A and B are shown apart, each in its own frame.
Chain A
Amino acid sequence: MRSATIRVDDAQLRRRKLLGTVMLGVFVAATLSALGVLAILVGDTIRDGAGWLDWNFIQDLPSRRPDRAGIWPALVGTIWIMILTAAFTFPVGVGAAIYLEEFGGRGRLSRIIEINISNLAGVPSIVYGLLGLAVFVELAGMGPSVLAGALTMTLLVLPVVIIASREAIRAVPDSLRQASLGLGATRLQTVWSHVLPAAMPGILTGTILALSRAIGETAPLIVVGAATYITFTPDGPGDRFTVLPMQIFDWISRPQADFHAIAAAGIIVLLILLLTMNLAAIMLRNYFRKNQNW
């Protein structure tokens, strides 16, 4: 008798299962549409630009003749900006996160700081550009230099790095802190020897992802005064510079079709740089996680 009740044709059950199947289809479609758009974009870019992408294109200076134009100054400029921004952002961002999570307490001041950092993360990048122009370029007299650009970028990514680092520090289990403090360690020893190493994968991932967002930013650097056409590479933080997105923008805005094609080649270079950075983030995370499982 019992098996009969299990086999009985149940309309309500069939409806539920049908709903499950339909929803699964919707979710797959959502995923595929995102991937599809990306594939079309990348495919289109590669078709346009791959033919122009060779070693000369990487190594050459910009030129009025598309077949001789290269991306070298922009690539060097981007790398300069990245390295300096990382060097400024990492210690300041992680330091602020450590203070807020481990020492700042839970008072009203901390809450105000916390809300404002979240707000800063949402400020349009052009506003940071204006700030950089006023403070670094004009007030501090740096001019439209690599240093001014990097400091402006630092302001832009700092809130994101602080938020990501705080999340990573907060995710470190309290039992680890208690173990350390229970042995007679100071707060600082605890943070330095246990909390930071445990949070490092998350901090590095957040920092690198923030930097790779900054790599594509153009607006603040336009305001700061990055050049669109320079035929030299910056040799130091005080030199003028341009970056990949600005070079790409310059080429796209020219009438000749060949320049549009080398703009596509420039985008490929930018994408490769981005993917390399994301890959580095994943590898660093895996490296630091090897020894941790709680």
Chain B
Amino acid sequence: MSVVPQLTGHGLDADLESAPTIIEARGVNIYYGDFLAFRDANLKVPEHKITALIGPSGSGKSTLLRSFNRMNDLVPAARVEGQILFRGENLYDQGIDPVAVRRTIGMVFQKPNPFPKSIYDNVAWGAKINGYKGNMDELVERSLRSAALWDEVKDKLKSSGLSLSGGQQQRLCIARCIAVQPEVILMDEPCSALDPIATLRIEDLMRELSENYTIMIVTHNMQQAARVSDLTAFMTMGEGRAGELVEVGPTRELFTSPKDPRTEDYITGRVG
């Protein structure tokens, strides 16, 4: 097997450098009680690009991702130190409401989790509770089109979201997320429960969505990171089982000429 995953040639480095930073982590430590789960994360996420977080199990990929829209707040005893700046504003400041954060920074989960409601209501609900006043039918159609699901479901919008296949359910979850009109979409291993064909559809969709949204994706599939992302952050489990960022760089660069030997060991398959 080829050592270096195939690269498809998007994400030109110059383009990447000119993109403005939308989210920046500065000295972020994440604790679960006394346990330090992630140490000193520093990361600049470029706008309208796809940033992949890769690394072995236990390296804190999901933990770090979830700190970007304060989903970790839901875990009792979870605590974040340092700053996560969204357009220069610290998401962990006193006056910031996590509910408002999650409206701006949406999330797609590992296992597709549509609501046990109709396809239409799945998409409409989030917009409705966030006070969307426009034409709901139009928003639902636009969101489903953006998620490349419209043609498959347009004749059965009233049937349950759970009646769809796994890949369709995941695209429904993406449509549901888009309908709230976030700026950033966090994806936590969105394809790990899907077959290869459904996975490729989601990857294509991510490329399309990156025109209008900033995407961060956690994946344990290096080929996926290589295929889809512009920027890759490699992390590993460091001292005291705490996750730490090893290397961040343009995807092409990180996969072809990694600077850190630990990155090289991981992407060539020697560890992890």
Contacts and interface: CB of A to CB of B under 8 A. Distances in A.
A255 interface: no
B103 A105 contact: no
B76 interface: yes
Given A182-B71, A183-B103, A185-B99, A105 B76 contact: yes
B74 A183 contact: no
A175 B129 CA distance: 19
B125 A175 contact: no
Contact of A178 (B76, B113, B116, B117): B113
A33 interface: no
Interface string B130-173: 10000000000000000000000000000010100000000001
A176 B115 contact: yes
Nearest to A197: B116
A183 B131 CA distance: 12
Contacts of B30: none
B116 A182 contact: no
Contacts of A177: 74
B100 interface: yes
A25 B177 CA distance: 56
Interface residues of A, number: 24
A194 interface: yes
A194 B115 contact: yes
A184 B173 contact: no
B129 A198 contact: no
A291 interface: yes
Interface string A279-294: 0000000000001111
A183 to B, nearest CB: 4
A184 B71 contact: no
Interface stretch (B14-22, B104-112, B210-218): B104-112
A9 B79 CA distance: 65
Contacts of B76: 105-106
A184 B126 contact: yes
Contact of B173 (A179, A181, A294): A179
Interface string A133-162: 000000000000000000000000000000
Contacts of B102: 181-184
B177 A183 contact: yes
Contacts of A173: 113
A193 interface: yes
A93 B118 CA distance: 30
A189 interface: yes
A186 interface: yes
Most chain A C-beta atoms within 10 Å of own C-beta, residue among B102, B103, B107, B116 = B116
A186 B130 CA distance: 10
B180 interface: yes
A173 B111 CA distance: 12
B162 A182 contact: no
B126 A183 contact: yes
Interface string B62-82: 000000010100101000000
14 contacts: A175-B109, A175-B113, A176-B115, A179-B109, A179-B113, A181-B99, A182-B71, A182-B109, A183-B130, A183-B176, A183-B180, A184-B129, A184-B180, A292-B162
Interface of A: 105-106, 173, 175-186, 189, 193-194, 197-198, 291-294
